[in-house]
Structure 1
Amino acid sequence: MPNPLLQEWGGPAGSPDFAAIRADQFLPAIDEGIRLSRAELAAITGNPAAPTFANTVEALERSGAVLARVRRIFWTLSSAQADDAIHAIEADVSARLTAWGLEVSHDVALFERVATVWKTRETLTPEQARLVDNSYKGFVAGGAALDAAAKHRLAEISTRLSELGVIFGQNVLAATNETEILVADDESDGIPEDQCALGRAAAAARGLAGQHLFRADRGTYESLLTFADSRAVRERVWRAFTGRCQSGPYDNLPVIAEIVALRDEKARLLGYASYAQYALEDSMAKTPEAAAGLMDRVWRPGLVQARREAEALQQIVTRDGNDFELAAWDWRYFADRVRRERFAYDAAAVRSHLSLGKVRSAAFAAAERLYGLRFTRREDVAVYHPDVCAWSVDNADGTPLGLLFTDYLARPEKHGGAWMGSLRVQEKMDAAVRPIVYTVANFTRAEPEDDALLTLDEARTLFHEFGHALHALLSDVTYPSLAGTAVARDFVEFPSKLMEHWVASPEALRGFGIPDDLVEAIGRAETFGQGFATIEFLASAIVDLKLHQTQPPPTDIAAFERDTLAALGTPDAIGMRHRLAYFTHVFDGGYASAYYSYLWAEVLDADVFEAFTATGNLFDPELADRLRREVLAQGDARDPMTSFTAFRGRAPDEAALLRARSLA
């Protein structure tokens, strides 16, 4: 029987038939994909004609289509539907793909042909020149210019790093699934009833009478820390969540130490002073110093504001007759008290209006008003889990644009957090190819799905990942390597951060049925808590950057984290949003040295959103059309700063970020 992974996808809208795919088909499909790719590259290097853009770089761009299909569908399942069979082959898949990538990067004949074309890039169109430049730099970053001994060592490092990334991610998933939080009936005051019901059901299934059983995912963690009246419960939740992967069978601290040492060695082999310098060379920031400078300029006012907020929270603690000092498990709870008392903001009341179905519909409606897009549910498209919904995406004139999968509810097979990915990217090299993208989150389950209730922050997360999806769907480039979100790490978060504004605007909030007085309260309360949010994020971003700059690389990761936070003056009651032991962005997600990129993207999005607010119309058609043409459609066909200035007419205004965070 033919392996379905090797066949062209023939489902509706060109979708894959997930029902026909089994885990044991992946390794043979990857091997065959590599064999086909190797033959395609041999045809390029064996071409007797002089290297040209068409016979070398464009031919390289056409190669590997089968392997790309298999790779993308595997990583979709391994991140969002990682059952035991997928787990069992994840390391093998990673090793084979890493080995193939090294074989390509170290192909001397192929690199020489690309380098020859690269020297003539000024004679090409801008998009062609961009592709050639990216290709050449990719070969250099992969070690193509190294001698044989250095290439061999680089191959050893890359192979081990791929193994360690798999180990790290699997440890986080296993620890999250096995970390259970028990809350007795008499401790459950304040916890939203829908979450209590789920907790009671989970406990009952385990024969735990009079208890609520919760999983240590981020949504549950933040909700319990915000709403649980019992301080003992909040402390238990905080310690369970933040203590993951720091000891026992899923200890990631030695894994991190090895990763950091190998990354540093890799960077030095390639001629860089640190891994951070290597990782940021093609970013908008360009250097670790520039990224650190931005963070420092935001950290200082953020810390001042956070200390003011801490004083306000401690006043309530003391006023209530308590004699304890504000701790990390208290902050969200008492911040919610401040918002309710000072600003008449009731987070639980807001949450009661934000059903998943309404928020998703609001995201679709915003895309329709901004870009004329239409979303239609597709019951005929196969999905990889019953939670997943498929949607056709069309332009205003009815022409198909692509396919979107949404996968929002938490389940044990799914990695934590939220993300967007592509099963197929847009291109028009030989014919128009429409993208297939997906967005994934981990919201608390409900039946039916549309009734799941979200906090305002979770609603922002949905809009954030939807912003990434729009970036991929609205791509309009020639070459697949330049499509959609294939841009600099500190630019890719710009369209997604920008999209968050459209869920928190008064117009959007009223659309959820939130009363005017509560909408006004949200607007007032938005300024409170910006110090906390700034420090919690930047603590993680600064530790990430310093970790990849420190010489020699630290071996005691727990001490490095502790000492770096102390040197920064990070309040104990805030800490890091992502502690290193479960920081999947950095050790299993491509953000090493670049977690700061969310902050730089926020500079861009704050500046652009000010352009929309200045018009008095958050759906201004002229601005939306220009944003689509000059930013979203461009992908990586040109330098991201060129795209930004083409939209805004000038370079980004860093002060816009401070204004947006009320830190000016």
Structure 2
Amino acid sequence: MKIRYLAPLAIAIALAGCQQPTTTPDVVKAAQVANNTANNPFFSDYDTPYGIPPFDKIKKSHYLPAFYHGIEQNKLEIDAITKVRSRPTFENTIVAMEKSGDFLNKVSNTFYGLTGSMSDEEMRAIAKEISPKLSALNDDIALNNALFLRVKEVYENQDKFDLRTDQKRLLETTYKSFVRGGANLNDADKQKLRELNERLSKLSLKFAENLLAETNSFEMVIDNKADLDGLPADIIAAAAVTATARGHDGKWVFTTHRPSKNPFLTYSNNRKLRETIYKGYTMRGNNDNANNNQAIASEMASLRFQKAQLLGYKTHAHFVLENATAKTPENVFGLLNKVWPAALARAKEEAADMQKMIDQQGGDFKLAAWDWWYYAEKIRKQRFDIDEAETKPYFSLEATLQGVFFTAEKLWGVTFSERDDLPKYHPDVRTFEMFDKDGSYVGIFMTDHYVRESKRGGAWMSSFRKQYRMNGEDVTPIIYNVLNYPRPVGDAPTLLTFDQASTLFHEFGHAIQGLLSNGYYRSQTGTALPRDYVEYPSQVMENWMTEPEVLANFAKHYQTGEVIPQALVEKIQASGKFNQGFATTEYLAAALLDMSWHSLETPELQDANQFEAKVIQEIGLIDEIAPRYKTGYYSHIFAGGYSAGYYGYIWSNIYDADTWLAFKENGIFDEKTAELYRKHVLESGGTDDPTIMYRRFRGQDPSVEPLLERRGLTTN
């Protein structure tokens, strides 16, 4: 159950007409830590434009006092709701819970927003201290019997209340979250559940901490210029900057961060060094050192199984998928196993093509995993007369961002205006006001583009504040994207690979859902959706990037201003299905590994190496391909909330492919289709069952065939 931070303390006490509960040890702790809160920004309303967190005033020492105060305030709010003397109603129970304490919410949103992009030892120490406290608070709410009885009474008598669709949905999810949170357990089992949750919380933090340390500690130092053979000039320049930053002046340094690793694997003619950086990446969290994550992953899988059993579920996967659109592990395995044979067969064909090229060039070796990117790029260039070096000059970061904004304006009439005077948490951050087609203000969009060691890897979207409407107040969203692109070197802009440009569109697809959200309750707005549906809007957004009309608007050579030639556009589109065997297979292998870990029917600790090897052998994955994420660095499922959910990307792809058919049939900027999509997908968030909302948009359920055809995995 997600913590539902409740109404402000004064309101809750007035509502209940009751005395404050006895002071707990954490109240004392809060007082001791807080000491003087006069200068702590969290203890007063922000005086910033649009209520953006005053990042320049927030010190790390402010977090713990604010967290402890917020936790105690939330306990009082819970107590107040349970002591309301009148019979439970939707308003005095469900809405009262939903009017979550803005205090703890704003502290959490800011702190956890920055731990992903501005992490350091002090921030990690705060997270380590407060995580079990928040886990305990979550359990205090989920296991509060008096509160549950009130929710249950409202749920069982809902026909007596005149509820809208979103209110019925809120009531249902609230009731189910209590049941799934252990409300029906006996006292002994409730205590056991608390212990499991606390341990899982600590292990998840440790997993992420180990992985960050592993990622940042690896460096491949090159001091011989000949070893840079094959690498593009901008990648070499970036490696020189990294070397200087790491104390290796006059040399070149490559790391396991993707903007460094991927180009090296794609272009370097030095096979031995390709192997070095590939193994540096795939051994993260798997090395025999203090940062090994294998035992942590094994214990987490065991604890998750024990928790599922305690709550009456066969496995952790059954527990998770009950709230997903897939519903059951059997349905997930059904989809994965339907796509897997075709993907694997195509991957084997791709491997054979690469081996043929190796043999023709006189290479006396068998294709290995660290060769794949290198030879895939050579074959791409040979087959389609295209390579990344040819396309990158047309995809500068600035131009691509403008292409994203152009697409959004064409679809929904929204516009973006950059502001340099608004608070930001790092100089890299860029901030934009977004306005609707009628000129009205919508929300704030922040984007943080460049790789740095304080960031975790990957790309994501989240919010410092979600959109919602309660108490007569229309609260506007503050949404942000975080990415990991290479920094510009000298006067040259950051040039993106095709995949990196697609990622910018993808993450903006999440952001626009947060920005255009139009709901009443915070727990339902924005991306408050099942894991296997939430990626759908972001995947749809990627489609526009390769359309000639969009490319003609933004894909311009950064030096000459020349619009990307139509011949090159046609090459890009023709190569769209190239290497899809690899891309689909490495992804599916990771999804199947996730499902295997979380379909375990035993608490027995697994040897992670043996377990992973067994899964790979059973699915028949070829040696030349590794799962996209191996156990030791699989942060999505052991530190990122995607356990038994990584399959969701391809499940969402089904909705994406079907949606794109509608736009292609009616016009990629067709006003009616765009408005239906905005109303029933982007604006509606989690206000109803996603499958029902999709039918309202599309008029039908999606099928898997468009997805298979798009990836070139059909048999015809």
TM bucket normalised to smaller: over 0.9
Is 1:19 the equivalent of 2:56?
yes
Residue 441 of structure 1 aligns to a residue in which SS?
A: strand
Aligned to 1:384: 425
Higher mean C-alpha deviation, range 476-485 or range 115-124: 115-124
Aligned to 2:506: 464
Q: CA RMSD in A?
A: 1.4
Aligned to 1:241: 281
Counterpart AA for 1:63: S
Aligned to 2:524: 482
Say if 2:106 and 2:465, in contact at 8 Å, map to a contact too: yes
Say if 1:295 and 1:538, in contact at 8 Å, map to a contact too: yes
Aligned to 2:643: 592
Residues 1:450 and 1:622: Cα distance change in structure 2 (over 3 Å) = farther
Aligned to 2:662: 611
Residue 390 of structure 1 aligns to a residue in which SS?
A: strand
Counterpart AA for 2:450: L
Task: Summarize the alignment of residues 434-449 of structure 1 with structure 2, pairs less than 5 Å apart.
Answer: 434-447=476-489
Aligned to 1:250: 291
Counterpart AA for 1:596: Y
Partners of 1:140 and 1:255 lie apart in 2 by 28
Q: Please list the CA deviations of residues 118-139 of structure 1 after superposition, one character each: whole Å capped at 9, or x if unmatched.
A: 1123442211110011111111
Partners of 2:139 and 2:695 lie apart in 1 by 36
Say if 1:344 and 1:518, in contact at 8 Å, map to a contact too: no
Residues 1:205 and 1:470: Cα distance change in structure 2 (over 3 Å) = closer
User: Which of 198, 205, 208 is 2:238 aligned to?
Assistant: 198
Counterpart AA for 2:225: D
Aligned to 2:334: 293
User: Which of 544, 566, 583 is 1:533 aligned to?
Assistant: 583
Residues 1:448 and 1:96: Cα distance change in structure 2 (over 3 Å) = farther
Partners of 2:71 and 2:240 lie apart in 1 by 49
Partners of 1:142 and 1:304 lie apart in 2 by 43
Is 1:186 the equivalent of 2:186?
no
Residues 1:201 and 1:472: Cα distance change in structure 2 (over 3 Å) = closer
Task: Summarize the alignment of residues 450-529 of structure 1 with structure 2, pairs less than 5 Å apart.
Answer: 451-511=493-553, 512-513=555-556, 514-529=564-579
Task: Summarize the alignment of residues 426-441 of structure 1 with structure 2, pairs less than 5 Å apart.
Answer: 426-430=467-471, 431-441=473-483
Is 1:172 the equivalent of 2:223?
no
Say if 2:419 and 2:433, in contact at 8 Å, map to a contact too: yes
Residue 432 of structure 1 aligns to a residue in which SS?
A: strand
Aligned to 2:318: 277
Q: Please list the CA deviations of residues 545-566 of structure 1 after superposition, one character each: whole Å capped at 9, or x if unmatched.
A: 0111123255201111111111
Partners of 1:39 and 1:208 lie apart in 2 by 55
Residues 1:204 and 1:392: Cα distance change in structure 2 (over 3 Å) = closer
Partners of 2:91 and 2:491 lie apart in 1 by 49
Residue 229 of structure 1 aligns to a residue in which SS?
A: coil
Say if 1:358 and 1:450, in contact at 8 Å, map to a contact too: no
Partners of 1:217 and 1:581 lie apart in 2 by 16
Is 1:367 the equivalent of 2:408?
yes
Higher mean C-alpha deviation, range 115-124 or range 319-328: 115-124
Residues 1:507 and 1:317: Cα distance change in structure 2 (over 3 Å) = farther
Q: Give, in angstroms, the shift of residue 322 of structure 1.
A: 0.5
Higher mean C-alpha deviation, range 544-553 or range 2-11: 2-11
Say if 2:255 and 2:277, in contact at 8 Å, map to a contact too: no
Aligned residues: 663
User: Which of 134, 138, 153 is 2:177 aligned to?
Assistant: 138
Partners of 2:352 and 2:94 lie apart in 1 by 60
Counterpart AA for 1:145: N
Say if 1:357 and 1:449, in contact at 8 Å, map to a contact too: no
Is 1:399 the equivalent of 2:440?
yes
Counterpart AA for 1:597: G
Aligned to 2:46: 9
Aligned to 1:63: 100
Aligned to 2:602: 552
Counterpart AA for 2:483: A
Partners of 2:641 and 2:546 lie apart in 1 by 29
User: Which of 420, 423, 430 is 2:464 aligned to?
Assistant: 423
Partners of 2:397 and 2:130 lie apart in 1 by 35
The percentage of counterpart residues that share the same residue type is 39
Say if 2:469 and 2:519, in contact at 8 Å, map to a contact too: yes
Partners of 2:132 and 2:519 lie apart in 1 by 31
Partners of 1:504 and 1:168 lie apart in 2 by 37
Say if 2:347 and 2:585, in contact at 8 Å, map to a contact too: yes
Say if 2:254 and 2:261, in contact at 8 Å, map to a contact too: no
Is 1:576 the equivalent of 2:632?
no
User: Which of 114, 118, 128 is 2:151 aligned to?
Assistant: 114
Residues 1:135 and 1:405: Cα distance change in structure 2 (over 3 Å) = same
Q: Please list the CA deviations of residues 274-300 of structure 1 after superposition, one character each: whole Å capped at 9, or x if unmatched.
A: 000001101000001101100111111
Counterpart AA for 1:302: A
Residues 1:531 and 1:490: Cα distance change in structure 2 (over 3 Å) = same
Residue 478 of structure 1 aligns to a residue in which SS?
A: coil
Residues 1:102 and 1:651: Cα distance change in structure 2 (over 3 Å) = same
Say if 2:237 and 2:489, in contact at 8 Å, map to a contact too: no
Residue 405 of structure 1 aligns to a residue in which SS?
A: strand
Partners of 2:311 and 2:157 lie apart in 1 by 24
Say if 1:302 and 1:531, in contact at 8 Å, map to a contact too: yes
Partners of 1:208 and 1:72 lie apart in 2 by 37
Q: Give, in angstroms, the shift of residue 238 of structure 1.
A: 0.5
Task: Summarize the alignment of residues 64-83 of structure 1 with structure 2, pairs less than 5 Å apart.
Answer: 64-83=101-120
Q: Please list the CA deviations of residues 91-111 of structure 1 after superposition, one character each: whole Å capped at 9, or x if unmatched.
A: 112111111111111111111
Task: Summarize the alignment of residues 318-397 of structure 1 with structure 2, pairs less than 5 Å apart.
Answer: 318-397=359-438
Counterpart AA for 1:570: L
User: Which of 191, 210, 230 is 1:152 aligned to?
Assistant: 191
Partners of 1:449 and 1:493 lie apart in 2 by 36
Aligned to 2:85: 48
- Which consecutive unaligned segments of at least 5 residues does structure 2 have? 1-37, 557-563
Q: Give, in angstroms, the shift of residue 210 of structure 1.
A: 5.6
Q: Please list the CA deviations of residues 400-434 of structure 1 after superposition, one character each: whole Å capped at 9, or x if unmatched.
A: 11111101100000111111111111111221111
Q: Please list the CA deviations of residues 263-284 of structure 1 after superposition, one character each: whole Å capped at 9, or x if unmatched.
A: 1111110000000000110100
Partners of 1:637 and 1:142 lie apart in 2 by 21
Is 1:601 the equivalent of 2:652?
yes
Aligned to 2:699: 649
Is 1:564 the equivalent of 2:603?
no
Partners of 1:189 and 1:508 lie apart in 2 by 35
Q: Give, in angstroms, the shift of residue 650 of structure 1.
A: 0.6
Residue 451 of structure 1 aligns to a residue in which SS?
A: coil
Aligned to 1:628: 678
Partners of 1:232 and 1:488 lie apart in 2 by 43
Counterpart AA for 1:197: A
Residue 392 of structure 1 aligns to a residue in which SS?
A: strand
Counterpart AA for 1:535: T
Counterpart AA for 1:321: G
Q: Give, in angstroms, the shift of residue 352 of structure 1.
A: 2.1
Residues 1:658 and 1:32: Cα distance change in structure 2 (over 3 Å) = same
Q: Give, in angstroms, the shift of residue 204 of structure 1.
A: 4.1
